[in-house]
Structure 1
Amino acid sequence: MPETNEPNTDGLTVITTHINADFDGISSVLAAHKLYPGSVVVLPNAGEKKNLKNFFISSLLYLFNMKRISDITEKKVSRVVLVDTRDLSRLGEMAPIIQDQAPEIHIFDHHPDQAGDLAGELEVIRPVGATATILVTLIQEKGISLSKEEATIICLGIYEDTGSFTYASTTPEDFQATAYLVSMGANLDIVSSLIAKELDPAQVSLINDMLHRSERRMINGVEVTLVSLSLEEYIPDLATLVQKMMRMENLGVLFVLAGMGNRIHVVARSRLPEVDCGAILTELGGGGHPFAASTVVRNMPLAQVEEKLGALLSSLVKPIRTARHLMSSPAITIAPLLPLSEASRLLTRYNINALVVTDFHDESETLRGYITRQVIERALSHNLGNYPVQEFMSSTVAVGNPDTDFNTLVDKIIGNKQRLLPILETGRLVGVVTRTDLLNLLVYSKEHARPAGDEVSLEPHYPKQKPIISLMRERLSQEILDLLKKIGEVADSMGFGVYVVGGFVRDLLLRRKNDDVDIVIEGEGITFAKAFAEMMGARINTYSKFGTSVIIFPDGFKVDVATARMEYYTAPAALPEVETSSIKLDLYRRDFTINTLAIRLSPEGFGTLTDFFNAQRDIKEKRIRILHNLSFVEDPTRVFRAIKFEQRFGFTIGKVTREMIKNAIHLDVFRELGGLRVFNEFRQILEEENPIPAILRIFDLGLMKIIHPGIEKHNDLIDQLDEAKKVLAWHDLMYTDEPIERWVIYFLTLLSQCDREISEEVAKRLMLAPKHKKLITGDRFHARNAYTWLTYSLPATNSDLHRKLSPLRAELLLYIMAVSANEEIKKAISHYMSQLRHISLSIMGRDLKEMGLKPGPLYSRILEETLAAKLDGTLDDRDDELAFAARYLQE
């Protein structure tokens, strides 16, 4: 990012914001003024906000280098800094200056991208609650001091645009920025007095009128509240009243149109992702966020504005409450002649409560009915498990199509008392909508609140979706972004849905670097991977059993591609069986909620984050949660991954998830777990930057016995692990180009008090590769012998150190340093590794041959003695080495 605080000597640097600026706009102007010393501030058309003008301009004028538009029209403007807007039409009289003089533009904004936005040489655009938050972060990074008054003003902007931290757009960064401002002396009493005003009698009366004039409309299945008013005089705090009405009535979407003179003021608020207030009011000449926006329409009758707004709502409110978006696909079916016992097995395998019954004839599928878990369980209780499903199924069944709207879905399911509704398209079964799907949508739409309790039973349901393209542009390299777009275009051309999923998305939201790109294809993943690899000139490895591929680009970069699939387990700790599925069920098979996020890559909706399982909430609350209570029974290795993620991210394992870990240990589900799978998970933990907290967590949970009960948490272990971390840090500092297996040092340290027999058992249990087995059952004991020698032989000559330590690989030497409490031993090994290890001779066997010595065992002896002399400092160069060898040979 270019330096913002470089003085501009070629002309004026002008800081400005949108017309009729709110607190965030004015606060951001002041914050930007701190980042650009010598700049001037121009507020276009701020007269209508008399309260802001009085507070900021009249009372605190000394804080701004304020100019009028007329003061700068004749001067050269070489740089314009825009805050809280990118819309040229909202810059008032500043717009012609930008168009005529074409200055360098710097932009700081938190609004989502809109068509026609200005582009800048510097753009800092982040999806936070207030633009002031972005600028405070930069001020803090640059170490710029703020006075108490400045901190208070900037704080005011954050409080207003986050609704005192109650709006859905509020982010952790807003809290952090405010905390910093408070530390700089921001006066919250002043902020409170300006933000949280009591309503006067006129405002109370106006809110009463708004409530009586409100009209609720269903637009594309979304309930929108509209209020239309004609007022005799200007109301300066209409947005405040709109927000209060939202809270009083617990509304999802509210648009208020207020005629004031020859102007119609429109204020909008939304809690639903289906309704983007900013996008809608942009069409009326205004703008804002998806959750809050406003505009002023001039010289148009109120009725005409209302009609135009209605048309915009009809076209821009996302009609996602249809069967197409709610249904689970593919539907789980059973043939009518199969026994009830098989139906019961399918219900358990897929964790569902009803099955669609279909017949296949000549490659076509015919809907026959459905059967529920309650019917099946009652039949089994009467020992009827061998009877065919058709004897007990419901054959009269209402159906829908993918475009069936939400209200019709409710009528069909509730009215017909069906557990599920089959969805047919051109006579073909494409999915089902269940009562659970409807309930999840109703809860999400009406309450907008997290479910009660620490953990919930998670089934795939209506997802939370939001665009995060701005975050992707901010955090991803242009190469990665272009690659994701290309993947989306190619998959779309093949008729496939495509998403980037898992850890890549999780770390993007956590603002952590992660270039491990995992792609899920709704279609044929291998077919897509082959086509894409050929197009990009890349290699490909495929794994047909799991429907996965790895695309390997010429520069070595890899992309993993998988077919959307679901997994079920035939026994605890067994490897899963795999079936083709949808993105919804593909995400449901994953280990923890934080790994269930997906970003759509198709051109339509590129950059849309999809969250079925409240993963964003868990990331925000720093919690690790499983998706269902049998998760650890089905795959016990997830316990190790829970610990790894908990420690890596500084999260906490959720209460119910902790109980399920204890339950898995109690049930001893690890007994059938293959040693290689245990080793792979444990090795990943040891490869973490700091694995010590995770290791101690494993001990505390009683999981180390899974590796071997002989590995104990002895008194010195924590100190030894800390020493291992220190010696690794020392090695990284001294030998940055020398690769070592870091996990080995921690593993050897854990085994430091285990004898050879236990070490053999550990190697067998974990199914270690021969080289690693040799390391812990053989080489480690050679290192122990070297340690014993060092204990009794120091101080020692350089040649003796070299002779004793050179057979040991670097990991073993670092291991000795970690477990030794003797500083002399550590210094000796450090001396060997830094000073002696790489000393070598200039002479070779052919030099001895030229002396007339026939090849034989004596060669090695002479070269060893010569090297020893060189190590002990008696030889300086090649001539010395030759002379020494000649003397030794003569002797």
Structure 2
Amino acid sequence: MQVIVSHQNVDFDGVASMVAAKKLYPEAIIAISDKLDRSVTTYMSIYKDLFSFSTYESVEWKHVSSLILVDVQAIDRTGIPSEELMDEIETIVYDHHPPFLLHTKEKVRHQIEQVGAAITLLIEHLEHRDVHLTPEEVNLFGLGLYSDTGNFTFPSTTSRDFHAASFLMKHHLDIEIVNRFVTPALTEAEQALFNQLFHSQTLHQLDGLQIVVSCHEQDRFQNGLSSLTEKLLDASSADAVITIVKMGKHVHLVCRASSTRINFQSFIKELGGGGHSQAASAMMKKSTLEEARRKVLPLIDLIVKHTVSAKEVMSYPVKTIHENDTITDAKEMMIRFGHTGFPVVNDHKELVGIISRRDVDKAIHHQYGHAPIKGYMTREIVTKQVDSTIDEVQQAMISHNVGRIPIMDDQNIAGIISRTNIISYLQRKEQEASLPNLVQRLEDTVSKEHFHLLKLIGKEADRFGVSAYLVGGFVRDLLLERPNEDLDVVIEGDGIKFANVLAASHGGSIKQHDTFGTATWTTPDDMKIDIVTCRTEYYAETAALPIVRSSNIHEDLTRRDFTINAMAMSISEHSFGKLLDEYQGIEDLKAKKIRILHPISFIEDPTRIFRAVRFAVRFGYSIEKETARLAQSAMSHLFSLSQQRLRQELTLIHKEATDLEAYYLLDTLNVWKTLFQKELPASSWQYAERVFSQSGHTVFHMLTALASPLSNWREMIQLYIMTAKERVFIEQLNELKQAPIEEVKSIGELHRYLYAVHDETLRFYLLDPTQEFHTHLDDYFKKRQEMSLYLSGDDLIKLDFKPGPHFRDYLFELEIKQLNGEISSKEEATRWVLEEKQKAEANHL
């Protein structure tokens, strides 16, 4: 038996999600708690008979084989008698409350995603399956969607919620019904309770935030405490409101917040409740009001996120420019690093000004590119200290209308915060609740020894004052649960110095690579791990190797190729397992998309075009539309790559290919049209298909097959020859194409033309779909492979032949006669050579 349930005090989102789940699981029954949100109670008094609901008491829980949870993850929050359930029970979860897990235990199937309402997830399934909906179902789903997103004003609202609303509108959602039940007028009892809560407020100041706690006690249970708490938040100027109300035997607690610095999750977890970061609730059974207050108040500190300091957001090390450098120097640096301004310093490294892109453009417009920066820089500098809050920095930007603020450690430049840093910080803050913590995944993936080593490195990183990360492909594969042994630790600081600290503290040896800012630490247990300095890079010209500079984790991720490779996982002790995903790599992993980071990435490094194809084929992903367009636009830059680099990239693709998908994908990006200077005909693909189906094919074989039907094929393929063997292959293939095969009447005679052609070349030529081969050629190749000469040079010596060049002539003629079937035994071969010998001796006389 399948049963659908939601949480106690079920709201519209819970009721709507249960009814929607019934549409997906028609054999299931809906079991609903007798404790309903007040607005739901009013709705149910009118519409209850239109839906099939069962009470908890009417369900035989011991016979339930499958439990479907909606708008809730924990069974203990549903209020069902869990002790009556079977030990082995399938659980299916549809929820939008944190944590947003990527995987759960066996026997649990789930969809837990960051959307504004649980009904959104179920509407997406209904839309996909094209399920018929009644007007009453559409309106109920609308009530769940509008109420849980606060009419699409809550921070948790996503574009998917708007899409769900659009779907409902297409099915004639009645907005009047939504308005009637989502914001009902207060009853007399509710108004009385609200007045009590309003006059019972106590104010708590925490880290600059105002937290209101309001307590009350009454004899009977009353619905609607959630709505009243929201009204209390609106009526006050507080950043958060916590209402604690004893109703009958139990104490009910509801939390609401308006500040993003409030997060109720840890707080409410301690109280056995659940919810969002800014909306949560709990029930303390058989508790007095005073007991509840004594338990709640010491936990209030948990709800306030610490104030983020400038030091935590700033970019460092800071790229500065000297006041005597020229305007042209400043412009080149801006282009090189992609920045729109730099702090200006004097000979003593003291901050003396700021030069912006606007300042530079103005000076160049007036032909002052040669002038020193100090003549055009801004001298009135707005700065902040490292312990300033990010809110203070943001306010300074607004007040002074500046795009970057140097962050000082006393009188020294410690870092800089730009508008881009602020935007990235705000995006990260929004993402934090939805990003998974990867500790368990990491522990399951790497060896026990490596896991403990990473923990050790993270602890030392905190002690040494640097941040440590795993980055790129390793993090990607960790999320995909794919094996990856490329375990490099990236340090935000001096990687080499930190590696030496590790060796000094824990033993082992260090091998430094000063040029690259990396070091390999070999532990006393002979484990090797690379320690890498965070770096940024720029390209002096297209396809050149990048010029590298030390930097921070944000710029280190910015230099990477694709969003799915631009994620990092902290291994620092204070944030071990925390994921950093500034470019929405997780979203692209879910969408199975390969997306480039920057519009000019393919221009800076055209090999990324081949890597895009390689990753797409490896993971079964598609190349995102704009990324494909940018790749096509950058085709001309392929010619800036050396032929060796082109071959190397194509070889890497070929090694992973199990079919021609990668080759076709390269074609959609216009790679072949660019390299071969014309569109490939259908015969090219027929040839390539045949070659790929043969064992032992190489990337050079594939390139030759694609080019071969072209009129200038030899000229095109010459560019990709890397070995003498390949050169011979092409020369022999060209000879085959020109040989008068159709004119030759016998297989033996064919051998006179083709005896020197390697089997590899002949086999390749026979696959050419553009050639109408004489049947002799196919027969010749088969017989040549099977042929074993009846006589050898040693046999001729035994027959009293004197060694010499004529041996080769005799044996070659024997090969021809064997292929023609004129000689079929060793005896016949012996008789023939003796006769030929006699003829030769007679002619000599």
Compute the TM-score of the two structures, normalised by the length of structure 1: 0.64
Separation in 2 of the partners of 1:368 and 1:125?
55
Q: Which position in structure 2 is the counterpart of 1:695?
A: 667
Separation in 2 of the partners of 1:88 and 1:806?
78
Residues 641-667 of structure 1 show CA distances to partners (whole Å, capped at 9, x for unaligned) of 567778962411269x74x975x77xx
Verify: 1:202 aligned to 2:185, yes or no. Answer: yes
Verify: 1:494 aligned to 2:460, yes or no. Answer: yes
Q: Which position in structure 2 is the counterpart of 1:651?
A: 624
CA contact (8 A) 1:265 1:296 kept: yes
Q: Which moved more, 1:605-614 or 1:527-536?
A: 527-536
Q: Which position in structure 1 is the counterpart of 2:706?
A: 749
CA contact (8 A) 2:791 2:826 kept: no
When residues 645 and 168 of structure 1 are mapped into structure 2, their CA distance, relative to the original with a 3 A threshold, is farther
Q: Pick one of 722, 740, 751 that aligns with 1:770.
A: 722
When residues 635 and 608 of structure 1 are mapped into structure 2, their CA distance, relative to the original with a 3 A threshold, is same
Verify: 1:712 aligned to 2:682, yes or no. Answer: no
CA contact (8 A) 1:745 1:811 kept: no
What code does the residue aligned with 1:692 have?
Answer: Y
Q: Which position in structure 2 is the counterpart of 1:782?
A: 732
Residues 118-162 of structure 1 show CA distances to partners (whole Å, capped at 9, x for unaligned) of 985534355425889999999999xx999989x979x95996898
CA contact (8 A) 1:637 1:681 kept: yes
Separation in 2 of the partners of 1:828 and 1:47?
89
Q: Which position in structure 2 is the counterpart of 1:758?
A: 715
Q: Pick one of 87, 90, 95 that aligns with 2:77.
A: 90
Q: Which position in structure 2 is the counterpart of 1:7?
A: none
What code does the residue aligned with 2:742 have?
Answer: Y
Verify: 1:676 aligned to 2:644, yes or no. Answer: yes
When residues 108 and 349 of structure 1 are mapped into structure 2, their CA distance, relative to the original with a 3 A threshold, is same
Q: Which position in structure 2 is the counterpart of 1:409?
A: 393
Verify: 1:612 aligned to 2:597, yes or no. Answer: no
Residues 217-264 of structure 1 show CA distances to partners (whole Å, capped at 9, x for unaligned) of 99768x899797989998867879999999x99x99976758594554
Separation in 2 of the partners of 1:828 and 1:330?
73
Q: Which position in structure 2 is the counterpart of 1:457?
A: none
Residues 446-484 of structure 1 show CA distances to partners (whole Å, capped at 9, x for unaligned) of xx8xxxxxxxxxxxx98954554378978x893249788
Matches within 5 A, 1:230-309: 257=243, 261=247, 264=252, 266=254, 268=256, 276-290=263-277, 293-296=280-283
What code does the residue aligned with 1:745 have?
Answer: M
Tell me by how many angstroms 1:745 deviates: 0.9
Tell me by how many angstroms 1:353 deviates: 0.8
Residues 515-553 of structure 1 show CA distances to partners (whole Å, capped at 9, x for unaligned) of 766653324556778999999999999854333579999
Separation in 2 of the partners of 1:800 and 1:178?
76
What code does the residue aligned with 1:676 have?
Answer: Q
Cα RMSD between the aligned structures?
A: 7.1
When residues 860 and 332 of structure 1 are mapped into structure 2, their CA distance, relative to the original with a 3 A threshold, is same
Radius of gyration: which is bigger?
A: 2
Residues 545-601 of structure 1 show CA distances to partners (whole Å, capped at 9, x for unaligned) of 333579999xxx999864210113344543222111111111222345554333334
CA contact (8 A) 1:112 1:470 kept: no
CA contact (8 A) 1:371 1:392 kept: yes
Q: Which position in structure 2 is the counterpart of 1:319?
A: 306
Q: Which position in structure 2 is the counterpart of 1:458?
A: none
Tell me by how many angstroms 1:719 deviates: 1.1
Q: Which position in structure 2 is the counterpart of 1:353?
A: 341
Residues 41-70 of structure 1 show CA distances to partners (whole Å, capped at 9, x for unaligned) of 7958444366698899966559x8x87488
Q: Which position in structure 1 is the counterpart of 2:842?
A: none
Other structure's SS at 1:494 match: helix
Residues 604-629 of structure 1 show CA distances to partners (whole Å, capped at 9, x for unaligned) of 43443323346667778868455366
Tell me by how many angstroms 1:486 deviates: 4.8
Q: Which position in structure 2 is the counterpart of 1:8?
A: none
Separation in 2 of the partners of 1:253 and 1:281?
17
Tell me by how many angstroms 1:500 deviates: 3.5
Gaps of 5+ in 2: 836-845
Separation in 2 of the partners of 1:743 and 1:178?
54
Separation in 2 of the partners of 1:695 and 1:816?
25
CA contact (8 A) 1:817 1:825 kept: no
When residues 217 and 140 of structure 1 are mapped into structure 2, their CA distance, relative to the original with a 3 A threshold, is same
CA contact (8 A) 1:255 1:269 kept: yes
Q: Which position in structure 2 is the counterpart of 1:585?
A: 555
When residues 565 and 120 of structure 1 are mapped into structure 2, their CA distance, relative to the original with a 3 A threshold, is closer
When residues 196 and 170 of structure 1 are mapped into structure 2, their CA distance, relative to the original with a 3 A threshold, is same
What code does the residue aligned with 1:627 have?
Answer: H
Q: Pick one of 418, 427, 434 that aligns with 1:434.
A: 418
Matches within 5 A, 1:182-581: 199=182, 201-202=184-185, 257=243, 261=247, 264=252, 266=254, 268=256, 276-290=263-277, 293-296=280-283, 314-319=301-306, 321-334=308-321, 345-350=332-337, 351-357=339-345, 367-373=350-356, 385=370, 394=379, 398-401=383-386, 403-410=387-394, 420-425=404-409, 429-434=413-418, 437-438=421-422, 440=423, 464-466=431-433, 468-469=435-436, 478-480=444-446, 485-486=451-452, 488-495=454-461, 496-503=466-473, 505=475, 520-525=490-495, 544-547=514-517, 562-581=532-551
When residues 628 and 357 of structure 1 are mapped into structure 2, their CA distance, relative to the original with a 3 A threshold, is farther
Separation in 2 of the partners of 1:252 and 1:623?
44
What code does the residue aligned with 1:433 have?
Answer: I
Separation in 2 of the partners of 1:202 and 1:744?
78
Separation in 2 of the partners of 1:827 and 1:89?
79
What code does the residue aligned with 1:370 have?
Answer: G
Tell me by how many angstroms 1:328 deviates: 0.9
Other structure's SS at 2:336 match: helix
Residues 396-453 of structure 1 show CA distances to partners (whole Å, capped at 9, x for unaligned) of 764402x321343346556677764433447754312235544x37xx85xx8xxxxx
Other structure's SS at 1:408 match: helix
Separation in 1 of the partners of 2:164 and 2:830?
75
CA contact (8 A) 2:406 2:417 kept: yes
What code does the residue aligned with 2:313 have?
Answer: L
Q: Which moved more, 1:103-112 or 1:528-537?
A: 528-537
Residues 317-343 of structure 1 show CA distances to partners (whole Å, capped at 9, x for unaligned) of 433632022211111234567677655
Separation in 1 of the partners of 2:44 and 2:384?
61
Other structure's SS at 1:202 match: coil
When residues 798 and 175 of structure 1 are mapped into structure 2, their CA distance, relative to the original with a 3 A threshold, is farther
Gaps of 5+ in 1: 1-11, 361-365, 449-460
CA contact (8 A) 1:105 1:122 kept: yes
CA contact (8 A) 2:8 2:36 kept: no
Tell me by how many angstroms 1:71 deviates: 4.5
Other structure's SS at 2:470 match: strand
CA contact (8 A) 2:22 2:29 kept: yes
CA contact (8 A) 1:744 1:811 kept: no
Other structure's SS at 2:515 match: coil
Separation in 1 of the partners of 2:540 and 2:306?
40
Separation in 1 of the partners of 2:457 and 2:401?
40
Other structure's SS at 2:677 match: coil
What code does the residue aligned with 1:770 have?
Answer: M
When residues 749 and 166 of structure 1 are mapped into structure 2, their CA distance, relative to the original with a 3 A threshold, is farther
Q: Which position in structure 2 is the counterpart of 1:454?
A: none
Separation in 2 of the partners of 1:70 and 1:301?
32
Other structure's SS at 2:458 match: helix
